[in-house]
Every structure is written in structure tokens, then in C-alpha cells.
Amino acid sequence: MKRFEIGKRYTEGGVTFEVISRTAKTVKMALIQHTGRANEKVTSVKSKKINNWETEEVVFWNCYEIHA
């Protein structure tokens, strides 16, 4: 099963999320805009519930579905 890793970045729909910390049931993620550019910035940090699917972990952030 794929799991979220601390420090790794995941891209969904043109937006990048970075995992800051995690527990068994939750993950704290930062939403990053302008990834890899001089004006890269963190716009929000939230703790979200981890959903366990058959082959991977998934987090729902508003309209984004982030897969591990």
C-alpha cells in the first residue's frame, strides 16, 4: 500500500501539497503555489483525515483528491 511520506510533495490539478507531519489517521499538509519558482509560497496548512483505499492512502482537500 502506498503511504504518505513526510517531506514529499504531491501534485494534483496544478497545485502542489507537501506533507509536513503525519500520524496513523491524519496528515498535516501545506498548500504550495508557484512551485519551483522564485515566488513560491505556502498559502495554507491543514490537518486532514487519511482515507485508506485498497492500494493507497487518499486525502480530500476541498475539490482536490490527493493520492499517495
How confident is the model over 8-43, as pLDDT tens digits? 999 988 899 999 999 999 999 999 999 989 999 999
Task: Write down the pLDDT at residue 30.
Answer: 96
Task: Write down the pLDDT at residue 48.
Answer: 96
Q: Where are the domains of the chain?
A: 9-67
The answer on pLDDT for 57 being more than 90 is yes
Name the residue with cell 512551485: 35
pTM recorded for the entire structure:
0.88
> DSSP state, 31?
E
